[in-house]
């Protein structure tokens, strides 16, 4: 299962594209605009925001369980950085902040639903860590570098080009990195 594509399909957006490993952006011939650009920017950003939050605070899974949390979901995911995240997605997609934020709340709700449906026990930190470790590398392939999510979320690994490269050598290096990364060791 590719979680980013699952969410994109569930919400009826056009295809989101993997970024070009060298430029770290969607190839110009595949460039997207409007709601498709919001999906391209927001789906990986929100998923990585959730993963980042779950890595730092596995107990955050409690608000994933049961009823949807009250208040703004983006605030719960990104904390104080949520306005900056909305601004970066808005700038990327060339859609006004207010419209981008509304669409991102909708996307965030679907992200939470899909994650909740795929983690069998939200109270088990090992299962949460394993889920994040399994899906995070794939989601990174869709994250445009111009969003600067690593900087916004205080996790420079998100902006690391080597995470988005594919091929035999890159795959080997990513596997080795996984072995030594404690958050992905479960």
Tens-digit pLDDT profile for residues 72-113:
889 988 989 999 999 999 999 999 999 999 999 999 999 988
Contact (CB, 8 A) for 143 and 48: yes
Mean pLDDT of 45-68: 76
All structural domains of the chain with their residue ranges: 3-184
Short-list 50, 76, 31, 6, CA closest to 155: 50
Rg of the Cα atoms in the chain = 16
The pLDDT value given to residue 62: 56
Given a cut of 50, is residue 149 above it in pLDDT?
A: yes
Q: What residue ranges in the chain does DSSP mark as E strands?
A: none
7-20 pLDDT, tens digit each: 999 999 988 989 88
In the chain, count of helices (H) and strands (E)? 8, 0
Cα–Cα dist 121/102, whole Å: 30
Phi-psi region of 144 (alpha: psi -120 to 50; beta: other; left: phi over 0): beta
Contact (CB, 8 A) for 124 and 54: no
Contact (CB, 8 A) for 173 and 167: no
Contact (CB, 8 A) for 116 and 105: no
pTM of the predicted model over 0.85? no
The pLDDT value given to residue 169: 53
């Amino acid at each position: 299962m590719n979680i980013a594509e699952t969410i994109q399909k569930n919400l009826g957006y056009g295809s989101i594209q993997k970024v070009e490993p060298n430029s770290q952006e969607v190839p110009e011939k595949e460039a997207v605009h409007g709601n498709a650009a919001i999906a391209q920017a927001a789906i990986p950003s929100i998923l990585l925001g959730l993963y980042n939050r779950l890595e730092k605070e596995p107990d955050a899974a409690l608000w994933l369980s049961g009823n949807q949390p009250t208040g703004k979901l983006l605030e719960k995911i990104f904390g104080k950085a949520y306005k900056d995240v909305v601004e970066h997605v808005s700038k990327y997609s060339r859609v006004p902040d207010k419209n981008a934020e509304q669409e991102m709340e909708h996307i965030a709700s679907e992200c939470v639903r899909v994650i909740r449906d795929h983690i069998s026990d939200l109270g088990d930190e090992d299962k949460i860590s394993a889920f994040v470790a399994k899906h995070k590398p794939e989601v990174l392939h869709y994250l445009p570098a111009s969003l600067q999510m690593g900087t916004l979320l205080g996790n420079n690994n998100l902006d690391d080009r080597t995470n988005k490269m594919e091929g035999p050598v890159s795959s080997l290096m990513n596997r080795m990195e996984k072995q030594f990364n404690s958050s992905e060791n479960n």
